[in-house]
Amino acid sequence: MERSRTDSGKRGMRVVVWMVSILAWQAAPAQNQVPQEQILQLSQQFQQVYDGISQQILTPDSATRAFQQVMLGLRAAVSRDSCRVGEADRFVYPLRGQLQRYTIGSRGRGYRANGFDLFDTEVRGSHPAHDLFIRDGDQDNLEDRLGEPVDVLAFTSGVVLAVETEWGPASQMRGGNYIWIYDPCREGLFYYAHNKCVTVAPGQWVKAGEKIAEVGRTGYNAFKERSPTHLHLMFLRITPEGLPKPENTYIWLTGAEVKQ
């Protein structure tokens, strides 16, 4: 996974209160319509825990426990009963108008899950994700043939849990402008990174194929000239214990609907 290094500034205050907010919240019974207030509260808790991990404010053990609490609460509230009719088996390719055979990096061989650890930012070497590349030779965030940005589409339906929208070149955050979306049908998290801009907000429900961002070059390594312009897509299945387990989305990607 592409992780964030320690950044000073805006996230610090959010993380300080993460434990208070988690302990104060009680999960509601599973239901088809989860109150928006509860969705926003869950999203805030996820953001606080993720900030704590990415800024190394939480130790790996503390981060693990906090993540488990949030994800178990989220699963209880936003259950599989929240799946929308017709969405459970639908995948839309995340790059609008782009074909899989030209854009999936290394024909799927770039996926490496061994050694993955979401909670320890010192761990390196794994890449439990697929990089989806666009033609952008001059690195202006525009597709070369059309001279236009490429929309990032929601791969599946779900609820937005966290976003970053203010990444700048001075930041060492590896994911840049990112989006985390929880898919209740698959009981897992989708992570979209390096976006130029983000067009969704925490607590928002999105459908497969809905625009959520534009492909960009944000992130500590993705911003560098050596890096081709791409979307970084990762899926983490949440285990019964509330822990993240990487899962290869290659088959899903190759069979996904391409939306023009």
How far apart CA 197 and CA 194 sit, in angstroms, is 9
- Rounded Cα distance between 59 and 214, Å, is 33
Give this prediction's pTM: 0.88
Q: What is the pLDDT of residues 147-197, one digit of tens each?
A: 999 999 999 999 999 999 999 999 988 999 999 999 999 999 999 999 999
d(CA 79, CA 220): 35
Closest by CA to 235, choosing from 184, 163, 181, 197, is 181
The residue assigned the tokens 């930012």 is 121
Return the biggest CA–CA distance within the chain: 52
DSSP 173: B
Within 8 A by CB and 6+ apart from 108, the residues are: 130, 248, 250, 253, 254
pLDDT at 85: 60
The full set of domains in the chain, from first to last, is 12-82 (no CATH), 100-254 (2.70.70.10)
- Most confident of the following: 32-41, 78-87, 113-122, 240-249: 240-249
> Per-residue pLDDT tens for 75-124?
999 888 767 666 667 999 999 999 999 999 999 999 999 999 999 988 88
What is the residue type of 165? T
Q: Which tokens hold the place of 216?
A: 């960009």
The DSSP result for 37-106, as a single string, is HHHHHHHHHHHHHHHHHHTT-S-HHHHHHHHHHHHHHHHHHS-GGGPPTTTTT--B-SBTT--HHHHBGG
